[in-house]
């Protein structure tokens, strides 16, 4: 069977329920991982997802901020619970779909100052990465695992609009890139979007609201990722090449999230 997995920082699931329905109808994901749902479990608009064929839900909600959720066409079972947020925020939720473990993250943005000694938010971000890395280092790389979400780091030179300028800005600083590289190496993760669309093509999934025309300025960052363990490599590369993309057209819609969805296909 084919499984289409998508991730999207929706920036309020209730505010953008209609946009989410439109995306699901047009892009037909089987599993949609969302970040920044900004509601508690009981406030989640479940009926909107049932209406577009995603009735199965795993939700980790939080009042007013953060929050993550997974919606699926297929039944889900519980995945290991990862205790990786020292602040107790709702920033990770997992599920198993068709034998594939999916862990959906909203990693802290990290504030403005890239110094963990003086910026507690930046220290929290790096601590979050370190805890995930420690967990993944204990895993079996042959087990099918997808690590997805808004990881809040643009790792490569071509994942930012200006490597030189962004190297001093949180989201693309050397210490964050190193932390992400350590996580990637911990299980031998494969970055599916870059496997499908290699460097040096510029590729972004986030654009600031500050630009009146995000395409004209195009000062974007690739913050949203779909990574897989080696155990999923054959399923993701069944045609010889990864099938993954950024749905940047969604950023053009009315009242958009500042993030665009990212999706990848698997043959299970």
Q: In sequence order, what DSSP letters do the residues of 92-110 get, joined into one string?
A: EEEEEETTEEEEEEE----
The answer for residues whose C-beta is within 8 angstroms of residue 84's C-beta and 6 or more apart is 91, 92, 128, 131, 132, 135
For residue range 16-49, list pLDDT tens digits in order: 999 999 999 999 999 999 999 999 999 999 999 9
> Using CA atoms, how far apart are residues 18 and 70, in angstroms rounded to an integer?
17
> Using CA atoms, how far apart are residues 233 and 229, in angstroms rounded to an integer?
7
> Using CA atoms, how far apart are residues 128 and 137, in angstroms rounded to an integer?
14
> Quick one: pLDDT at residue 168?
96
> Using CA atoms, how far apart are residues 172 and 157, in angstroms rounded to an integer?
9
> Are 222 and 259 within 8 A, CB to CB?
no
Sheet containing strand 2-9, edge to edge, reads 56-60, 68-72, 31-35, 2-9, 262-267, 244-246
Q: Is the pLDDT of residue 64 over 90?
A: no
For residue range 256-268, list pLDDT tens digits in order: 999 999 999 999 8
Q: Give the domain ranges of the chain.
A: 2-258
To which CATH superfamily is domain 2-258 assigned? Answer: Endonuclease/exonuclease/phosphatase (3.60.10.10)
The answer for residues whose C-beta is within 8 angstroms of residue 57's C-beta and 6 or more apart is 44, 46, 49, 69, 70, 71, 72
> Quick one: pLDDT at residue 211?
84
For residue range 101-140, list pLDDT tens digits in order: 999 999 999 999 999 999 999 999 999 999 999 999 999 9
What percent of the chain shows pLDDT beyond 70? Answer: 100
Instruction: Copy the structure tokens of residue 226.
Output: 């779909």
> Using CA atoms, how far apart are residues 263 and 225, in angstroms rounded to an integer?
9
> Quick one: pLDDT at residue 268?
87
């Amino acid at each position: 069977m084919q499984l289409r997995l998508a991730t999207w920082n929706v920036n309020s699931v209730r505010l953008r329920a209609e946009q989410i329905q439109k995306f699901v109808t047009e892009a037909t994901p089987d599993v949609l991982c969302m970040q920044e749902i900004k509601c508690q479990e009981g406030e989640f608009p479940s009926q909107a997802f049932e209406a577009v064929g995603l009735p199965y839900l795993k939700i980790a909600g939080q009042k007013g901020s953060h929050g993550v959720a997974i919606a699926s066409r297929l039944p889900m079972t519980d995945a290991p619970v990862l205790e990786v947020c020292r602040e107790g925020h709702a920033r990770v939720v997992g599920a198993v779909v068709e034998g594939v473990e999916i862990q959906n993250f909203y990693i802290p943005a990290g504030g403005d100052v890239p110094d963990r000694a003086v910026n507690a938010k930046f220290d929290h971000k790096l601590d979050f990465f370190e805890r995930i890395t420690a967990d993944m280092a204990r895993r079996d790389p042959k087990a099918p695992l997808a690590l997805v979400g808004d990881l809040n780091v643009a790792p490569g030179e071509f994942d930012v609009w200006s490597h030189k300028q962004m190297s001093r800005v949180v989201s693309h600083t050397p210490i964050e890139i190193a932390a992400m590289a350590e996580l990637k190496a911990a299980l031998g993760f494969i970055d599916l979007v870059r496997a499908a669309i290699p460097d040096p093509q510029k590729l972004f999934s986030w654009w600031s609201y500050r630009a009146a025309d995000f395409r004209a300025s195009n000062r974007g960052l690739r913050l949203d990722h779909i990574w897989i363990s080696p155990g999923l490599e054959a399923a993701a590369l069944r045609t010889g090449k990864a099938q993954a993309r950024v749905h940047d057209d969604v950023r053009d819609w009315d009242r958009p999230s500042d993030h665009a969805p990212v999706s990848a296909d698997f043959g299970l």
